[in-house]
Amino acid sequence: MKLLFVADPIESFKIYKDTTFAMMREAHKRGHRISVCEQQDLLWQRGAPVTAHVRDITLTGQADAWFEVTQSRSVALKEFDAVLMRKDPPFDSEYFYATHLLEQAERDGARVFNKPSALRDHPEKLAIMEFPQYIGPTLVTRDEADIKRFHAEHGNIILKPLDGMGGMGIFRVGPDGLNLGSITETLNRHGAQSLMVQKFLPQIVLGDKRVLVIGGKPVPYCLARIPQGSEVRGNLAAGGKGVAQALSARDFEIANALGPLLAARGLLLVGLDVIGDCLTEINVTSPTCFQEIFDQTGCDVAALFVDALEQALNPAA
Known active-site residue 314? no
DSSP state, residue 142: S
Known active-site residue 281? yes
How far apart are alpha carbons 309 and 54 in whole angstroms? 21
CA 149 to chain centre: 31
* Maximum alpha-carbon separation in the chain: 62
How far apart are alpha carbons 251 and 211 in whole angstroms? 7
Is 176:117 a contact under the CB 8 Å cutoff? no
Known active-site residue 225? yes
Identify the active-site residue in 26, 106, 273, 292: 273
Length of the chain: 317
Identify the active-site residue in 25, 87, 115, 125: 125
Identify the active-site residue in 233, 235, 251, 292: 233
Whole-angstrom distance between the N-terminal and C-terminal Cα of the chain?
A: 14
Known active-site residue 273? yes
Known active-site residue 14? no
3-state secondary structure of 51: strand
Identify the active-site residue in 25, 160, 199, 209: 160
Determine how β-strand 195-199 pairs with β-strand 269-275: unpaired
Identify the active-site residue in 114, 188, 235, 283: 283
Known active-site residue 125? yes
How far apart are alpha carbons 42 and 96 in whole angstroms? 13
Give the residue numbers marked as catalytic: 125, 160, 210, 225, 233, 273, 281, 283
